[in-house]
Amino acid sequence: MISFTEATWNITLFSLAVALASTLAILPFGIALSWLLARKRSRFNNFVETIVLLPLVMPPVATGLILLKIFGRRSPVGGWLYERGVEILFNWKGVLVAMAVMSFPLLVRSVKTSFTEVNPRLEQIAASLGASAPRIFFAVTVPLAWRGLVAGALLAFSRALGEFGATIILAGNIPGKTQTLALAIFDFVQLGKDPEAFGLIVVTVVAAFAAVGISEHLVRGKGQV
């Protein structure tokens, strides 16, 4: 049996909102870094890409502990933010940061691949006609790579929606404050509330299926444009 209550709907809306916000927050940085990795050849590229992809292979809890050290009040970054009234730990901002860090690698991988597939000759032709670098990027590169950009954003969103390990370390599992879909499912299972857990599982599966399905469709459709 599946059960949907006001509490589960609130958890769903909170998770969708923060996952969307985290995706939008990392999008400009992900696109910029992906373009640099795809277009600027450097001996540091492998090192940078390895650092970016670490959250994909590290245990999420380990990533969460690193973030906890970075944003804790006693750290230089966390202390500086706290003095200015910005508290990251154990509130929605911590959820957003955890989601953003864990989903960033998927965005970069997808977008970088898309930029790599854009023929540099087209950009060179635009440059020879007097187009500036920003205009080349927005008028030539992005229109040719838009499928990969959207696919990467959707993958990042679906990864953010399912984030658990880093979130519970950085933001905790506070009902009505930091509890996301993944954390609530864990809580409901622990409490024996299987109908509520399965209700949230249905929401998670539908959202992830839609995001991944559209992403795959866009990637497969690249060669048909």
Structural domain range at position 87: 6-224
Per the domain annotation, does 171 fall within a domain? Answer: yes
Q: Work out whether the CA dihedral 115, 118, 121, 126 comes out positive or negative.
A: negative
The two counts, helices (H) then strands (E), for the chain are: 11, 0
Give per-residue pLDDT as tens, 38-72: 988 888 899 999 999 999 999 999 999 999 999 99
Amino acid in position 121: R
pTM of the model: 0.92
Q: For the residues 179-186, what does the mean pLDDT come to?
A: 96
* Residue 220, burial from CB neighbour count under 10 angstroms (0-12, 13-18, 19+): exposed
Asked if pLDDT for residue 1 goes beyond 80, the answer is no
Whether 208 maps to a domain, the answer reads yes
Tell me what the mean pLDDT of segment 176-203 comes to.
Answer: 94
15: pLDDT strictly greater than 70: yes
Give 128: exposed, middle or buried? Use CB within 10 Å, 0-12, 13-18, 19+: exposed
CATH of the domain at 79: 1.10.3720.10
What integer best gives the mean pLDDT of the chain?
93
C-alpha span between 74 and 67 (Å, rounded):
13
* Phi, psi (deg, nearest 5) at residue 150: -65, -40
Q: Tell me which of 216 and 23 has the higher pLDDT.
A: 23
* Residue 118 in domain: yes
- For residue 116, being part of any structural domain is answered with yes
Kindly state whether residue 135 falls inside one of the protein's structural domains. Answer: yes
- Write down the residue that tokens 């020879």 correspond to: 128
Picking from 150, 142, 183, 147, the residue whose alpha carbon sits closest to that of residue 23 is 150
Confidence of residue 114 (pLDDT cuts 50, 70, 90): very high
Are 106 and 163 within 8 A, CB to CB? Answer: no
Whether 1 is in a domain gets the answer no
Residue 155 forms part of a structural domain: yes
Residue 214 lies in a domain: yes
Judge whether 99 and 125 are in contact, CB under 8 Å: no
* Residue 113 pLDDT class (50, 70, 90 cuts): very high
Q: Which long-range contacts (CB under 8 A, 24 or more apart) does 80-88 make?
A: 88/170
Per the structure, how many domains does the chain have? Answer: 1
Q: Quick one: pLDDT at residue 225?
A: 44
